[in-house]
Structure 1
Amino acid sequence: MRSSVPAVLLAVSLLSGLTATDLAHAEDPGDHGTVPSKKDVDNARRAVADKATDVAGVRRAMAAAQARLETASIAAEQAAEAYNGARWRAERARAEARAARRVQRSATADLEKQRQAYAGSLVSGYSSGQGLSAVAGLVQPGGIDEVQRRSSTVASAQSALDAKFQRYQASKTLADVAEDQASAAEKKAVAAERTARSKREAARQAANAAAAQARSVAAERTRLLRQLAHLQHISVALATRRQDALEEQRQEKAEAAAAAAAQAAAQKAAHEAAQKSGQKSGQKSAQQSGQQAGQQHHTTAPDHDAGDAASSSGQAPAAPPADDAGAPAPTPPASAPAPSGGVGAAIAFARQQIGEPYVWGAAGPDSWDCSGLTMRAWEAGGIALPHYSVAQYEESTPISPADLRPGDLLFWGTSNSPSSIHHVALYVGDGQMIEAPRTGVPVREISMYAWEAPNFYARP
């Protein structure tokens, strides 16, 4: 009978994953000659439950570590795009300053030209002002006529001189304004460049923090996987494969949920648009019916029905609003046509960069950030875009997710305002995108719902 207790507990341990230490605690040392008591069974069950709790706790810890990494990565991405935005604004401000200086130099040159012309006229006037005096005009033959002629000439010269002075004054005013504008533009450029340097430092710190978090999470995951393997009495390699499979399943579920949410939002938007269109069409039809009724009142042979009236006026009756069943899905079907022209070149360029590293602020040739990749891809496609995700959206044509075509841009923001955009990717069809995601993750082609559904869409 002595061996029955260890045998039972051994069977329980094999099913539950208890260690030898657990067995020692579970066995009652004071009673070796009887079958397991209720207390023994309860203790064994509690030990199994504790192990299960430990496994769940380890997995929660891994999920929490991954969440910290995601948070740090998003913060780094936001900081990187904030730097791109500050750099873009600084470049624009510097270009405006250069243009203002060109205007100022032109205005200064014109002022000098007008100054010389006015000064020359003054000298010429003084030189030609010596002539017959009024007395000489009285005593010399024909003198009076000569005085009158010269007086008229002097008056004309004075009028011309006044006009040149006015032009000089106008040029001086323009030169002063141009100087003020150039100085203001220069100050704006200097301030923008100072802000860009500050944002660059913030982006560098955020990227370093994200990289440190990635290293910390990787080390913590390794430790937690060892702990998980110990708790489950399996090898670390097997624990790793199991955990990877679980995380992949969760990712697939998250992608499916994001896709479903995006489709529901698209259907709702389409339904609301159809309702508005139906209301407008109904109002227009009512107005047309009223006009037709007025026309019938003034005719001797009224039309047979409203449909004939609409046909005779060349206006078609309003179409009924579409229902939810006809609402488009957020992504095109799998049989979407192959991209061509500039779109094909843009996608081909992006695919060539797959596997290359993410580096914040980079736009090639061997490293990329999100907006640097989409900028160069569409540059290959023949369209110039700025190296800044917000500006890329603003300089493109906004579209709905139902209108997505290969080559369109996908944007992620923290709110419903485009100013909150901090990530951009290139849509390549069939629900897939190419992106430069974050530090430590290279350029990749992946589901557009791998993280969460985009909240802005645009066509360059």
Structure 2
Amino acid sequence: MPRAPRAPRRGSLLLATALAFLAAALPGAPRAAADDPSPAAPSATAPSAPSAPSAADVRAAQDNATRRAAEVAAVEAQLAAAQQAEQNLDIQAEQSVEAYNGARVRQQQAEADSAQAATEAATAAVRRETARQAAAALAVAQYRTGLPPALGAVQGLMRVQDLHSAELQEEALQAVQLQAASVAAAAADTAAAAATASAAAARAATAAEQAAAVVRQAAAKVQAELAAQHTEVARIAAQRGALLARLAAAQQVSVALATQRQQALAAAAAKAAAEAAAAAARQSADAAPSGTGTPYRAGDASAAVAFARAQLGLPYVWGGAGPDVFDCSGLTMRAWQHAGVSLPHFAADQYASSTPLSYHQLRPGDLVFWSHDGSPQDIYHVAIYLGGDQMIEAPRTGDVVKVASLWIMGTPDFYARPRPSGA
């Protein structure tokens, strides 16, 4: 870790003083009168002067400071590695949460399809039974009268006109019988197909439910790993604080000063990264087509932003969609629902349901997205743009809904504006 320039060590001066003292005290060493400022030599009973630090003392102090600095450097490396692991787990957690949200959307759709298929199967079964009963009634009527009910009205006419009734009645009877059989068979086929579709839909709903459960377990596992990593980072940070205190004591500087310096270095690095990300975003946006994109209806964006602001400070809980807890896509879904626009509880689907924008087209209320591999299908985080490179987000477990820099996670991968319902 780079360190700020410091004043020359006092050890060199102390070492020179110690050597001079030892040289003057050695037996047989010549001593000029001018070297003794006192008018007379000290008496045997005078108190002895305090001994100067030895070269060994000086070297020990220097070695101690060096050891403390090495300890701090080592724990700084451990802390950086732990924080990087925490960041990676945080991304994995967001991905798993959004995967669970997507699985839940698919499960809900499969359940709705299953319910619809079951309703259609029940209706088809009723029609099949109705057709069966009608065919049975036709057979009874034929047995009683020799003609089906449909021909009963023309029976007298046929007798009066004497139209070779035997053949004509036989042909008509066969036609009606065939029609009745066809209706009954079609109804049976429809009912069978509906029952098959209903069973398939029910199996799909069960599979979707099982898939959602698997994804939920995976998300819970990553969340547990992330919580453990939070604890590890806190432990190493506490160890770092203790070592900084020892280093500060060894270097005769305050712990506060050492901590402030570390914080200043971290802040400078973060600022440089944010500036680089902003510059990259502006450069890529300059090449995008100009325009304002799809306009909002009056009040849409402001209503979404107002709702999001009202949730500031509420805790993040994965799968949360209000009213007291939210995850990232749950917050944006409810915010735009408050504005009259329906969005799914799944960040990738929210992007698919919106109009893509460039950075320069962003307006308050628009959505910003991050993807693990740069594809829309792998979007794992979404937030609401406020303007001025600020956003409102539900970031991660252990955090709350808050305002943050647009560049806090690096340059967003996608920008989009929710389309009004029905557009």
TMscore range, shorter length: 0.7 to 0.9
Partner residue, 1:86: 103
Among 149, 161, 176, which residue is 2:177 paired with? 161
Partner residue, 1:119: 136
Partner residue, 1:313: none
Q: Would the alpha carbon gap of residues 444 and 126 (structure 1) be closer, same or farther in structure 2, given more than 3 Å must change?
A: same
User: 2 CA distance for matches of 1:352 and 1:455?
Assistant: 27
The amino acid across from 1:112 in the alignment is E
User: 1 CA distance for matches of 2:372 and 2:23?
Assistant: 66
Partner residue, 1:170: 186
TM-score by length of 1: 0.71
Q: Would the alpha carbon gap of residues 118 and 56 (structure 1) be closer, same or farther in structure 2, given more than 3 Å must change?
A: same
Q: Would the alpha carbon gap of residues 220 and 43 (structure 1) be closer, same or farther in structure 2, given more than 3 Å must change?
A: closer
Q: Does residue 429 of the first structure (1) align with residue 387 of the second (2)?
A: yes
Q: CA deviation at 1:369?
A: 0.7
Equivalence map 1:197-208=2 (5 Å) = 197-208=213-224
Q: Does residue 192 of the first structure (1) align with residue 181 of the second (2)?
A: no
Q: CA deviation at 1:219?
A: 2.0
Deviations 1:380-426 (A, max 9, x none): 11111111111111122222223211111111111132111111111
Q: Which has the higher helix share?
A: 1
Partner residue, 1:76: 93
The amino acid across from 1:148 in the alignment is H
The amino acid across from 1:83 in the alignment is Y
Moved more, 355-364 or 158-167: 158-167
SS in structure 1 of the partner of residue 380 of structure 2: strand
Partner residue, 1:362: 320
The amino acid across from 2:171 in the alignment is A
SS in structure 1 of the partner of residue 403 of structure 2: strand
Partner residue, 1:350: 308
The amino acid across from 1:361 in the alignment is G
Deviations 1:219-238 (A, max 9, x none): 21121022123213345455
TM-score by length of 2: 0.77
Partner residue, 1:372: 330
Q: Would the alpha carbon gap of residues 27 and 198 (structure 1) be closer, same or farther in structure 2, given more than 3 Å must change?
A: farther
Partner residue, 1:318: none
Share of identical aligned residues, percent?
42
Q: CA deviation at 1:50?
A: 5.9
Partner residue, 2:113: 96
The amino acid across from 1:456 in the alignment is F
Aligned partners of 1:107 and 1:174 also within 8 Å: yes
Among 256, 276, 286, which residue is 1:257 paired with? 276
User: 2 CA distance for matches of 1:13 and 1:228?
Assistant: 24
Q: Would the alpha carbon gap of residues 257 and 198 (structure 1) be closer, same or farther in structure 2, given more than 3 Å must change?
A: same
Q: Would the alpha carbon gap of residues 27 and 44 (structure 1) be closer, same or farther in structure 2, given more than 3 Å must change?
A: farther
SS in structure 2 of the partner of residue 71 of structure 1: helix
SS in structure 1 of the partner of residue 407 of structure 2: coil
Q: CA deviation at 1:244?
A: 3.2
Partner residue, 1:33: 22
Equivalence map 1:239-258=2 (5 Å) = 239-258=258-277
Q: Would the alpha carbon gap of residues 129 and 43 (structure 1) be closer, same or farther in structure 2, given more than 3 Å must change?
A: same
Q: CA deviation at 1:55?
A: 4.3
Q: Would the alpha carbon gap of residues 32 and 127 (structure 1) be closer, same or farther in structure 2, given more than 3 Å must change?
A: farther
Aligned partners of 1:84 and 1:388 also within 8 Å: yes
Equivalence map 1:397-416=2 (5 Å) = 397-416=355-374
User: 2 CA distance for matches of 1:253 and 1:176?
Assistant: 67
User: 2 CA distance for matches of 1:206 and 1:248?
Assistant: 29
User: 2 CA distance for matches of 1:47 and 1:75?
Assistant: 42
Q: How many residues align?
A: 370
User: 2 CA distance for matches of 1:241 and 1:13?
Assistant: 28
Deviations 1:97-124 (A, max 9, x none): 1111122112112111211111211221
The amino acid across from 1:349 in the alignment is F
Q: CA deviation at 1:266?
A: 2.2
* Structure 1 alignment gaps of length 5 or more: 1-8, 15-22, 131-141, 274-326
Partner residue, 1:453: 411
Equivalence map 1:272-351=2 (5 Å) = 341-351=299-309
The amino acid across from 2:414 in the alignment is F
Aligned partners of 1:378 and 1:384 also within 8 Å: yes
User: 1 CA distance for matches of 2:22 and 2:107?
Assistant: 86
User: 1 CA distance for matches of 2:263 and 2:296?
Assistant: 34
Aligned partners of 1:129 and 1:154 also within 8 Å: no
Aligned partners of 1:357 and 1:367 also within 8 Å: yes
Q: Would the alpha carbon gap of residues 340 and 445 (structure 1) be closer, same or farther in structure 2, given more than 3 Å must change?
A: farther
The amino acid across from 1:408 in the alignment is D
Partner residue, 1:212: 228
Moved more, 226-235 or 415-424: 226-235
